[in-house]
Amino acid sequence: MNLEKLKFDEKGLIPAVVQDVQSKEVLTVAYMNRESIEKTIEIGETVFFSRSRQALWHKGETSGNTQKVRSIRYDCDQDALVVLVEPQGPACHTGAYSCFSETLYEKDVRVDAPNPDRYRILTELQEIIAKREHEMPEGAYTTYLFEHGVDKILKKVGEEAGEVIIAAKNRDAEELKWEVSDLFYHVLVLLQEQKVPLDEILATLKERHTKKDN
């Protein structure tokens, strides 16, 4: 750890963007100083510097909504941080999963547009599933799955895998699309429950593919 590389402002602070390591959703933006960074690394949970209180602030110390730190990165100018975390509850004081819950502007990407981000839906699903786990809205199907735990989730993964097999065996393309979509969704729920980021699955696929080609 070499904090000398970082460029703190005239007040000794540096902005920190906190991001869910699994869903990649931005949870909040806070400030850190040298002491809070050292404390964060020491305890493995986010500790910020509160500009209003002029004191260190251990996120979730009283509420229990701590953030386990997986990685701290800095940008090319060394004057901003990205903190990748496993949130143990809502990030926002309102009880919302993320402090960034309001939309100022949004433009849909057309499916037939040149070079569309075809896999953005997977990231969006991850974000929704992560929000459901932390906010647990009443009546939501994803909430139901998390409430009933890993056994229920595994049962649904098995059921959907079976439905995929049946649809493929029947050569029913439309049904296959629906069932594979259901399977993908339940697998993403399982990954969230197990705290295994989709990025790690993709990295494993890439690694295995590279080894096969070699």
CB atoms within 10 A of CB 86: 15
Between CA 176 and CA 210 the distance in angstroms is 29
Q: Which residues contact 135 (CB under 8 A, 6 or more apart)?
A: 90, 95, 96, 97
- Amino acid, single-letter form, for residue 122: L
pLDDT above 80 (res 2): no
- CB of 145 within 8 A of CB of 189? yes
Tokens read off for 138: 């009443």
AA identity, residue 78: Q
| pLDDT higher than 60, residue 214 | no
The rounded distance, in Å, linking the Cα atoms of 140 and 63 is 24
Task: Tell me: pLDDT of 118 over 70.
Answer: no
Measured in whole angstroms, the distance separating CA 96 from the mean position of its chain's CA atoms is: 14
Per the CB < 8 A criterion, the answer to whether 27 and 20 are in contact is: yes
46: left (phi over 0), alpha (psi -120 to 50) or beta: beta
Compute the distance between CA of residue 25 and CA of residue 22 in angstroms, rounded to an integer.
8
**Contact 17/30 with Cβ under 8 angstroms?**
no
Q: Rounded mean pLDDT of 129-157?
A: 95
- At residue 22, what is the residue type? Q
**Over 50: is that where the pLDDT of 114 sits?**
no
How many other CB atoms are found less than 10 A from the CB of residue 75?
A: 12
> What is the model's pLDDT at position 143?
96
Over residues 162-169, the mean pLDDT reads 97
**Which residue in 52, 129, 37, 122 sits closest to 83, CA to CA?**
37
Residue 95 is classified by DSSP as S
Note the pLDDT of residue 116: 46
